Amino acid sequence: MDLKGKIALVTGGSNGIGKQTALQLIKEGATVYITGRNKQRLQAAANEIGARPILADSSIQTDVDRVFSQIMSENDSFDILINNAGFGAGWAELGELNMEAMQQVYQTNVFGAAMMGQAAANIFKKQQSGSIVNIGSTASLKGYAKGSIYASSKFALRGLSQCWQADLRPHNIRVMHVNPSEVTTAFGKDDGISRDEVSNKLRPQEIADVIVSQLKMDDRGFVPEVTVWATNPW
């Protein structure tokens, strides 16, 4: 796909992987919308990289509808959805799980991604073209102690990616699933901004490189799933 002139949406685009992916898509010539829940942070990111901000929570159906309504009112087509919005909470062993935390994580990581994917798919089917990239995690490949909530949400997202691939390939729609390993982003930080830069850990740039390279492949092909590991994180 030639990204020049394409219309893309990156959820959770205020920082980290989402922001970096939006920036690299813009550098390729795409028009990029980013969503986020923090107005100040969203606007600052949009100003910095040249994206179009939409204040929205991907876990709320009315917000999802509003996002796509705005995009389609301003453009003749829509080409790329990056389902990046997600978070982790409720780290606990079985027997100590917080069901409220589990519902909150699933509402964004699974249900929000599904609502965004469904809205995009309805547009893509009419066009008979489009690409969806779901940002998973290596936590979707193997569970770990105290990871019941987050890991299972990413396992669910991975399952959605595989189902959507089967649903949408007959419509010339590509669905790609990306599993980052540990990335030095603001994930899990209380302020949602600060990060611990570590020279041997992955940065958002590495994940964005993978996403953009997949999208640039000719539309006749796609990579269903890719996992990105730090070479030597120890």
Query: What is the helix (H) or strand (E) element at residue 71, kind and residue range?
Result: helix 61-74
Does the annotation count 150 as an active-site position? yes
Q: Are 132 and 164 in contact (CB under 8 A)?
A: yes
Amino acid present at 31: T
**Cα–Cα dist 66/128, whole Å:** 23
Collapsing DSSP to helix, strand or coil, 83 comes out as strand
- With tokens 């920082």, the residue in question is 15
**Residues 33, 106, 144, 150: which is the catalytic one?**
150
How far from each other are the two terminal CA atoms of the chain, in whole angstroms?
A: 37
**Cα–Cα dist 179/32, whole Å:** 22
Catalytic residues, which ones? 150
